[in-house]
Amino acid sequence: MFSKKKKIMSLLLVLVVLMTGLCACGSKEGNTGETAQTANKEADSPAKEQEETQPAQAEEAEAETEAAGPDISQEVTLVMYLIGDRPVDNDEVFAKINERLKAEINATIEVKFMSWSEYEQKYPLIFASGEDWDIIYTADWCFYNAQAAKQGFYEITQEALETYAPMTAETMYPEAWEQAKVNDKVYMLPMNYKEITAYVYMARGDLMDKYGITSVASLDEAESYMDAIVQNEPSLIPIDVGSDYDKLFLYDRMFKKANWESPEKVIGIGPWQVMASVSEVDDEVKVMGTYDYPAFKETIVRLKDWKDRGFWSKNAVVNTQNNTESFQAGKSALAMMNANTAKSVYASVSAEHPEWDIRVFDAQDGVPPVLNSYLANGMSIFSKSKNPERALMALDYLRNDEEVNSLFCYGIEGKHWEASGDGALVSLPDSANYAYDSNCNWGVRNDAYWRVIEGGIPNLPELNKVWQETARSERYQTFVFNDESVKNEIAALGEIFDTDYKLLGLGFTDDPEADIAKLREKMEAAGAQKVYDEIQKQGLEFLAAQ
């Protein structure tokens, strides 16, 4: 009797153990998918489970595409990834956009954002995560070549363009279409817009007046301003650089200035991780490590001086907040950004802190701004999108339909902006919640519907005028390097770029000369010369083809 009872008890116990085990097991399984998507900490398993199931679906999607004529009987929701922080009124704006898209192509768009501080890490991961999404912002500086080479994007053929995006097919600048080609295939719809990238400083007017600084329009003037801050405002960091986004901002300004003033006009070439530079006036395309130019050392010495004087945090290398965010939060006294970002930052900071009296200055310091290639902004479709043809149709409307395009670029008319004559607009107070041209809408900018902003930064028209007169394209701007034969070297060099180069670029060195020598030694050991030779070879071909 007793033993029987015991037996039943033990069996029950086993059952309980088994149940808990299975439950734990089940929930663990569910979690794995999610963790693989977001964290990917196990290096050798980036979403391997999900990947296996995907090709079949992708093929199905392709089969659908081949069916003739746009079939829009089925309603779809397209997921679109943009870079930046979600504007407060984003949902309201997209509700209007979706209203129209629903009527025209029976599709709606759901927008997801990845912030500037993490996009470098997150961008490549969403391709491998197995997540279901359709459209993404891309650019030559934002993984276009890398992801296209790994077949991350859906190929946009001329036929597909004509079938699904007739408006785009008609209005696309032919040279933009040519630039977008990677191995003769196009994976991006580049913006229909001619853009200049110029950098500006944004400074606190109240502090400038307090310390008798009249202008912060050059490196020297920025130096005096930051010096005044360091001496008198212990609670402020002069400029809070160091995040992924702005770790090399000051380095870039200094190095570019030094080179623009030199007769060689040295510029970067090839993938940025390999630190290759070439003189623009040299038809031999002699490629050297950037660190081998005398200007590099001068720059590092000055950066070290600035760092030692406390112009940025001693913890700058572990910063996760970028200098603009710090400036907005009142932690720093100076920020540097491109003129485009400045427009929206200016609007929101002036509204929140009118007492700061912020002022914007030209940070180009005599260096002509870059006339961007069309690839500086664009939109692509995910290669595993379930509805690539509908995504293309949606992009067609975002780019070419005046109503949708204006909604995306400037917000709701009458709420965020109102028209001011032809080709201009005035921002309304609500634009703090959906600012002019700063919602990652850059990929669909269209010269045909473009409106310049009136008001905003008072001296911007004046700066724009100067920039437009001097802007130029760099000689190797449209040069696309094929890294097939030197992948391993680039991987090894990338690691050095990420650690040693970043440190030098923020002035973290006790002995610039010795550390530059150390950098050179590591670069050579990792096979830099082989990469430079390859760049030279392809560079010569590039020049010959022109």
Partner 1 sequence: MYNGKHPFLHDLYKNRTKWLMLLPAAVVVILMCYIPMAGIVLAFKEYNYHDGIFGSPWTGFENFQYFFKSGKAWLTTRNTILYNLAFLCVNTFLQITCAIMLSELAGKMFKRITQSVMFLPYFISWVVVGAFIYNLFNYEFGAVNTFLKGAGLELVDVYSNKKMWPFILIAVSAFKNVGYGTVMYLASIVNIDGEMYEAADLDGATMWQKIRYITLPCIRPTVVILFLLAIGTIMKGDFQMFWQVTGNNPMVLEVTDVIDTYVTRSLLTLQEFGMTSAAGLYQSGVSFVLVLIANYIVKKVEPDYALF
DSSP conformational letter for 440: S
Q: Which residue lies nearer to partner 1 by CB, 176 or 248?
A: 248
Taking the least distance from each CB to partner 1, the nearer of 46 and 270 is 46
Binding of partner 1 at residue 332 (CB under 8 A)?
no
Nearer to partner 1, 35 or 214 (CB): 35
Strands of 290-371, DSSP E: 332-338, 359-362, 370-371
230 binding partner 1? (CB under 8 A): no
Q: Quick check: 124 binds partner 1 (CB under 8 A)?
A: yes
Q: How far apart are CA 330 and CA 48, in angstroms?
A: 44
Pick the closest to residue 114 from 543, 440, 473 (CA basis). 440
Residue 127's identity, in one-letter code, is: F
Q: Report if residue 34 touches partner 1, rule: CB under 8 A.
A: no
**Alpha-carbon dihedral angle through residues 431, 86, 467, 418, given to the nearest 10 degrees:** -20
153/417 with CB nearer partner 1: 153
Provide, rounded to whole angstroms, the least separation between the CB of residue 168 and partner 1: 24
Candidates 492, 519, 531, 535: give the one binding partner 1 (CB under 8 A): 492
Options 106, 108, 215, 273; binder of partner 1; rule CB under 8 A: 273
44: number of Cβ within 10 Å: 5
For the chain, the 3-state helix, strand and coil shares in percent, each to the nearest 5, are: 55, 15, 30
Q: Is 268 in the site for partner 1 (CB under 8 A)?
A: no
283 binds partner 1 (CB under 8 A): no
Judged by CB under 8 A, which of 305, 447, 495, 541 binds partner 1? 495
Interacting span for partner 1 (CB under 8 A) from 192-200, 285-293, 497-505, 535-543: 497-505
> Of 72, 146, 167, 301, which lies in the binding site for partner 1, with binding defined by CB under 8 A?
146
* Amino acid at site 212: G
457 torsion bin: left (phi>0), alpha (psi -120 to 50), beta (else): beta
Q: Is 46 in the site for partner 1 (CB under 8 A)?
A: yes
Contact 434, 411 (CB under 8 A): yes
- Judge contact between 207 and 333, C-beta under 8 A: yes
Binding flag, residue 152, partner 1 (CB under 8 A): yes
Instruction: Report the distance separating Cα 288 and Cα 285, nearest Å.
Output: 9
- Is residue 49 a contact point for partner 1 (CB under 8 A)? yes
Stretch that binds partner 1, among 173-181, 193-201, 415-423, 520-528 (CB under 8 A): 520-528
**Tokens 């093929």 sit at which residue?**
59
**Residue from 85, 92, 104, 120 that binds partner 1 (CB under 8 A)?**
120
329 counts as binding partner 1 under rule CB under 8 A: no
Which two tokens mark 244?
Answer: 């992924």
Residues 9-28 within binding reach of partner 1 (CB under 8 A):
10-11, 14, 17-18, 21-22, 24-25, 28
User: Residues 334, 203: contact at Cβ < 8 Å?
Assistant: yes
Query: Minimum CB separation from partner 1 for residue 315, in Å?
Result: 5
Of 42, 75, 91, 418, which lies in the binding site for partner 1, with binding defined by CB under 8 A? 42
Smaller CB separation from partner 1, 230 or 428: 230
Lay out the site mask for partner 1 across 419-458 (x = CB under 8 A, - = otherwise).
----------------------------------------
With contact defined as beta carbons under 8 Å apart, do 408 and 316 qualify?
no
Select from 3, 108, 169 the least CA-distant residue to 394.
108
Q: How far is the CB of 76 from partner 1 (least distance, A)?
A: 21
Q: Which residue has the tokens 């929140």?
A: 352
Q: Which residues pair with 199 in a beta bridge?
A: 338
CA distance 411 to 84: 16
Interface residues for partner 1 in 385-424 (CB under 8 A)?
none
Query: What CA–CA distance (Å, rounded) separates 145 from 510?
Result: 37
For β-strands 288-289 and 276-279, DSSP reports them as antiparallel
The nearer residue to partner 1, 437 or 500, going by C-beta atoms, is: 500
Could you give the CA distance from residue 393 to residue 156 in angstroms, rounded to a whole number?
Answer: 12
Q: How far apart are CA 466 and CA 262, in angstroms?
A: 21
Under the binding rule (CB under 8 A), the answer on residue 487 touching partner 1 is yes
151 lies in the site for partner 1, by CB under 8 A: yes
CB of 311 to partner 1, least distance (A): 12
Q: Please report, as a single letter, which amino acid is at residue 492.
A: A
Q: Pick the closer one to partner 1 by CB: 181 or 487.
A: 487
- Using rule CB under 8 A, residue 503 touches partner 1: yes
Identify the sign of the CA torsion 268, 269, 275, 280. Answer: negative
Q: How far is the CB of 97 from partner 1 (least distance, A)?
A: 28
Q: Nearest distance from residue 427's CB to partner 1, in Å? A: 36
Q: Characterize the bridge pairing of strands 417-419 and 378-381.
A: unpaired
Distance in angstroms (rounded) separating the CA atoms of residues 303 and 505: 7
330 binds partner 1 (CB under 8 A): no
Give contact residues for partner 1 (rule: CB under 8 A): 10-11, 14, 17-18, 21-22, 24-25, 28-29, 32, 40-46, 48-49, 51-52, 54-55, 58, 120-121, 124-125, 127-128, 143, 146-147, 149-152, 237, 273, 313-315, 317-318, 320, 383-384, 487-492, 494-496, 498-500, 502-503, 508, 522, 525-527
